[in-house]
Amino acid sequence: MNEQAAEQLPDDVDTLKALLLQKQQRIRLLEEQILLMRDKHFTSGSEQASNQLGFFDEAEAEADAEPPEAPTTASPATTPKKPAGRQQLPADLPRVRREHDLPEEEKICTCGCQMREIGEETSEQLDIIPAKIQVIQHVRKKYACKACEAGVKTTPLPAQPISRSSASPGLLAQITVAKYQDALPLARQEKIFHRIGVDLPRNTLASWIIRCSQLVQPLLNLLEDRLRDGPIIQCDETPVQVLKEPDKPPESQSYMWVRLGGLSDESVVLYDYYASRSGEVAGTLLSGFNGYLQTDDYAGYHAVGAEKGIIHLGCWAHARRKFIEAQKVADSKNKKSKGKDKNKKNRPSKADIALNYIGHLYGIERKCKHLSPEERYQLRQAKSLPVLNKLRSWLDKNLPGALPKTALGKALFYLQKNWEKLCVYTEDGRLNIDNNGAENAIRPFVIGRKNWLFSDTTNGAKASAALYSLIETAKANDLEPYDYLRRVYAELPQANTVEAIEALLPWNAKEALLAEKRALAEGGEG
């Protein structure tokens, strides 16, 4: 330290001690931030907490409360193993029989007698036929009267997904699924088509995508109604860059929002594009909804979550992540201290104790996964509430001494701030412990964004939202996206009534699609 800096220090010892303590806390905070940044960039993105088996006695002394009676991590002995050996190929795939017979001279036994067939031995290989491009010719017969020559009659062409276009429902379904399910940008699809001898420029593909999104809007309107009829909506959002967003620079961020909900047997996933992440957007997306709203702690949801008729749930997965970060910091410090004193026994950190409680809550959820809502409610009341009460007592004891800006402090204060919302899930067996459903629903978009990076226009971003909605809703209802979209693109142009459009909702179309798949497997025309 130079003389000028030394002269600026206060002379009072108590003031110097306070200043030193402040600097030490600052250094500790910066060290934690560096550790977490290194961990984020150079280690696995798994949220798996470190195994802390056998620390329960020490945890009990630390928490002044009995911790969960057993670790939540399943031991290898209790984990079901996959059958050894090659797995059977799916029975519903068509089979092509190829017979391999002995030459006639080898069918003579060494004793001179003719050998007889007594059976056969069958082995199977999986084969694939590359994509086949074909041209569908729509031939319409023309009729005229030779007697009066009044005119010519021709049956009208059935309504097509894109009028006066060479794109069939099957081709449009393939392009849509390739981009929004398989994350293949249109530029890459253009090259794939070129390799098989078809010239489809990417601007043509982009135009078709936008036209398809406009076509399916009536179906999306019905899905919106079904979403709001359900008792629960989960929400999440993620950034997206749109180059030609009005009144915004190209490098600015816009947002793709996702909502997940519906009835128990009708899952709905809806994407919506908006230029901002403001609470006004959340209010628009949830206006008129009455029921449970589950989100993370983003402030944009606070206002709508406080509205009459809405009960706001928290997300235990987000609370858990913060303690995992605190655990990484604690583990790093333990390694350093153990390096100085190899005989030192590491006590469980406060993050370890919190993660153990949270892990036990998730263990209870695994047990009640296949129960009815009423049975799930009863189990949570009997098992989850006692764990929550112990965790609450532990939190009250450790919160006063926590430094708010440290990783542990952030985790503890997050838990304190969201405690009431985090406990709501125990009040209704239909509710989830976390918001992972919405996060899983938005993950395909995040994966796709890594490939195509940005949207050129707002129309393109809105088209993406519409088609992601149909694909993810189809998947949520156990439908194969290509089969479902091909049917939607083929039948929606001819659907002139609400009943006809409702027949194309995923849960209504499922039986017809399964019948079509069975027919194809049996060799029929489908």
d(CA 344, CA 162): 73
User: How many CA atoms are closer than 13 Å to the CA of 62, on its beta-carbon side?
Assistant: 17
Per-position DSSP letters for 277-344, written without gaps between them? --HHHHHHHTTT--EEEE--S-GGGHHHHTSTTEEEE--HHHHHHHHHHHHHHHHHHHHHHHHH-TTP
End-to-end Cα separation, the chain, in angstroms: 83
And the tokens for 289?
A: 């909804």
The pLDDT, as a whole number, for residue 450 is 77
And the tokens for 514?
A: 């399964």
Q: Judge whether 192 and 253 are in contact, CB under 8 Å.
A: no
Overall residue count recorded for the chain in this entry: 526
Closest CA to 357 of 70, 68, 75: 68
Q: Measure the CA angle with vertex 194, ends 191 and 198; round to 5°.
A: 140
Pairing of strands 142-144, 232-240: unpaired
pTM: 0.78
Burial of 145 (0-12, 13-18, 19+ CB in 10 A): exposed
The pLDDT, as a whole number, for residue 379 is 95
Q: Judge whether 393 and 65 are in contact, CB under 8 Å.
A: yes
And the tokens for 139?
A: 């031939």
Question: Which stretches of 324-463 are assigned E, i.e. beta strand?
Answer: 455-457
Write down the residue that tokens 């985090």 correspond to.
Answer: 422
The pLDDT, as a whole number, for residue 491 is 93
Closest CA to 232 of 255, 185, 257, 264: 264
The pLDDT, as a whole number, for residue 67 is 46
Closest CA to 316 of 392, 424, 429: 424
d(CA 180, CA 376): 35
The pLDDT, as a whole number, for residue 76 is 38
d(CA 64, CA 277): 42
Q: Is 186 helix (H, G, I), strand (E, B) or coil?
A: helix
And the tokens for 34?
A: 């560096």
The pLDDT, as a whole number, for residue 394 is 94
Q: What is the pLDDT along the chain (526 residues), one digit of tens a residue?
A: 465 556 566 666 667 667 766 666 667 666 656 665 665 655 555 555 554 443 333 333 343 444 444 444 433 344 456 666 667 888 878 889 999 999 988 889 888 899 998 889 998 888 888 778 888 888 988 888 888 877 888 988 888 899 888 899 999 999 999 999 998 999 999 999 999 889 999 999 999 999 999 999 999 999 999 999 999 999 999 888 888 788 788 878 889 999 999 988 899 999 999 988 889 999 999 988 999 999 998 888 998 888 889 999 999 999 999 999 888 877 776 666 555 555 556 678 888 999 999 999 999 999 998 899 999 999 999 999 999 999 999 999 998 888 878 888 899 999 999 999 999 999 999 999 999 999 888 888 888 887 777 788 889 899 999 999 999 999 999 999 999 999 999 999 999 899 999 999 999 998 888 877 777 666 644 3
